[in-house]
Amino acid sequence: MNTRLNTEVLIVGTGISGLLSAIELSKTYSVTMLTKSRTNECSTSWAQGGIAAAMDNSDIDAHVNDTIINGHEICNPESVTRIIEQGRKSIDLLIKHGVNFNTDGTKLQQTLEGGHSKRRIAYHNDNTGEEIHTSLLKKAKKNKKITIKEDIMAIDLIGRKDALCDGLYAYDESNKSVITIRANIIILATGGANKLYQYTTNPDTSTGDGIALAWRFGCTISNMEFMQFHPTCLYHTSDKSFLISESLRGEGAKLINPNNEYFMKKYDKRAELAPRDVVARAIDIEMKNNNFKHVYLDVSFKGNEYILQRFPNIYNRCLELGIDITKDPIPVVPAAHYTCGGVKTTISGETDCSNLYVIGEAAHSGLHGANRLASNSLLECSVMAMECCKKINEKNITYNEKELPLWDDSYVSDSSDENILISHNWAEIRKIMWDYVGILRSDKMLNRAKDRLEIINNEINEFYHTHRISTDLLELRNIIDVAKIITKSAISRKESRGLHYNKDYPKVSYKYNKSTELNNTEKDFIMKIVSKA
């Protein structure tokens, strides 16, 4: 039976951005948080490296400069500066909420990662994200003004972009029903879209849900062609999503090919400490030119004691798979890792709609440009959460008294074909995106992807509007929307810049020294979505 729920603040997502926002806003409002799976199945809890933070004012300009250089001239300088200026404040807030960073006595330890000009990465061993997420979740669960609901997935936003977003429809997996949720403030903190690719370092939940919701609602989407591929994902049949942290290369680990040859100097004088787009592309070329299935990352020369103390999580995970990293190199491949684009926002998460906010990886704040600097992600997530709460608390929030319609599924049917359609289309989309819209692209590849995605899109939409929904079907609907956005964005950028490399346009063109912005103008499509409500 479909039901209603009312809340003052609704937050979709339980990663660092969502949890920080909930904790801060609960001082004033009642908060409801939704997660489509379990609370720990998010990219935050999988993050290993750390959080980039200029801990003294003398490093702010250098951190800003490193970020803009890595962003290939299309970062928003104002956003970059404002976020980086709050690095120390974000670390202090996380410590206040119980996060334990590694210290040397009372001094915060900081490591080096690719693209940074100095050691400024605060970390907890090699599982920083897990430490942050565990600490924040523990605090949120103790807070009586925060309600966390698991296994509930957002379907669509309710209202009009040019008026107010009144709430959303959400699918309750436990009883197969739809909840109509009314809220005064809606915050999407749903993470990225990296599960669209065949190989990824992210959990299965990274299906671009918030980006798709905002797109269908009419919000502007920006820079989605810039999908970051992490250079070093573990290559193993039993564990295809385990990240081998950037910090190994920061501490001296070397890339070698199966012929036992160091190769990074051929591609960039910075070698293993080059930015991620450079290293990922170098590995991809090395593999394709030589028909290698993978390359290796070697840290064994650092010694047993150092490796066990600095990288215990990576050591133990690899050892479970029969790889002793104190003796053997680690087989690695590039994998989709981070969505640099997203819903166009301010650093406060403000969108085209006055009471709809998007923060964290789902947002495009202007920080990352054409390539994200290592460990700037958790920084952006924490600062955007702080700024979002500040902006909301500055406003005079109007109480939403509208009675929203219940979800109407009286005309849809069940189908025994659902699992086949979903699994087939899911696999095909991910293969298309990996083969044609991946690390190396061309006009022919992108247009081939566009045509094939359009056929799949029509099939999914027809099925969605005539059959009962499920979490799998909702995710499929979201990934086809986001796949089309990424491909359309990539087609429109006739150059190579940062994470977008088109073999037909191998050089940077200053004509494209700007962000890509797309608006959903398919009015008939929007009306079809609204009519289902």
Q: What is the DSSP string of 372-433?
A: PPTTHHHHHHHHHHHHHHHHHHHS-PPP----PPPP--TT-B--TTHHHHHHHHHHHHHHHH
pLDDT < 70 regions, the chain? 240, 415-418, 521-533
Q: What are phi and psi of 76, to 5 degrees?
A: -90, 105
Return the HEC string of 7-75: EEEEEECCCHHHHHHHHHHCCCCCEEEECCCCCCCCHHHHCCCCEECCCCHHHHHHHHHHHHHHCCCCC
Known active-site residue 276: yes
Catalytic residue chosen out of the listed positions 249, 276, 317, 430 = 276
Query: Does one domain contain both 73 and 192?
Result: yes
Residue 403 counted as domain residue = no
Query: Does one domain contain both 220 and 250?
Result: no
Residue 523's CATH number: 1.20.58.100
What's the CA gap between 418 and 459, in Å, rounded?
A: 12
Q: Report the pLDDT value the prediction gives residue 521, as an integer from 0 to 100.
A: 64
On the 0-12 / 13-18 / 19+ scale of CB atoms within 10 A, 244 is: buried
What's the CA gap between 351 and 335, in Å, rounded?
A: 30
Q: For residue 80, give the nearest of 95, 62, 57, 58 by alpha carbon.
A: 62
* Average pLDDT in the chain: 91
Residue 479 counted as domain residue = yes
Last residue of a domain, one of 315, 336, 357: 336
Query: Does one domain contain both 447 and 375?
Result: no
Q: For residue 192, give the nearest of 180, 176, 178, 204 by alpha carbon.
A: 204
Q: Report the pLDDT value the prediction gives residue 397, as an integer from 0 to 100.
A: 79
What is the extent of the structural domain holding 249?
A: 229-336
Residue 471 counted as domain residue = yes
Query: Does one domain contain both 281 and 293?
Result: yes
Strand partners, 180: 4, 169
What's the CA gap between 405 and 169, in Å, rounded?
A: 10
Residue 296 counted as domain residue = yes
What's the CA gap between 405 and 173, in Å, rounded?
A: 20
Residue 19 counted as domain residue = yes
Q: What are phi and psi of 9, to 5 degrees?
A: -120, 130
Query: Does one domain contain both 274 and 356?
Result: no
Query: Does one domain contain both 177 and 233?
Result: no
Q: Report the pLDDT value the prediction gives residue 416, as an integer from 0 to 100.
A: 61
Query: Does one domain contain both 172 and 222?
Result: yes
Q: Report the pLDDT value the prediction gives residue 527, as an integer from 0 to 100.
A: 31
Last residue of a domain, one of 378, 394, 410: 394
Distance of CA 204 to the CA centre of its chain: 12
What's the CA gap between 273 and 314, in Å, rounded?
A: 19
Q: Domain tally for the chain? A: 3
Q: Which tokens is 69 given?
A: 């250089």
Encode pLDDT of 120-149 as tens digits.
999 998 889 899 999 999 999 999 999 999
Query: Does one domain contain both 58 and 98?
Result: yes
Last residue of a domain, one of 336, 359, 377: 336
Query: Does one domain contain both 146 and 18?
Result: yes
Q: Which tokens is 277 given?
A: 């787009």
Cα dist. 338→90, 220, 306, 341 in Å? 21, 19, 29, 9
To 10 degrees, the CA torsion angle through 19, 22, 24, 27?
-150
Residue 408 counted as domain residue = no
Residue 443 counted as domain residue = yes
On the 0-12 / 13-18 / 19+ scale of CB atoms within 10 A, 338 is: buried
Query: Does one domain contain both 498 and 450?
Result: yes
Query: Does one domain contain both 60 and 147?
Result: yes
Q: What pTM did the predictor assign?
A: 0.90
Residue 54 counted as domain residue = yes
Query: Does one domain contain both 159 and 293?
Result: no
Residue 115's CATH number: 3.50.50.60
Q: Report the pLDDT value the prediction gives residue 446, as an integer from 0 to 100.
A: 98
Half-sphere exposure of residue 76: CA atoms within 13 angstroms, side-chain side: 18
Residue 330's CATH number: 3.90.700.10
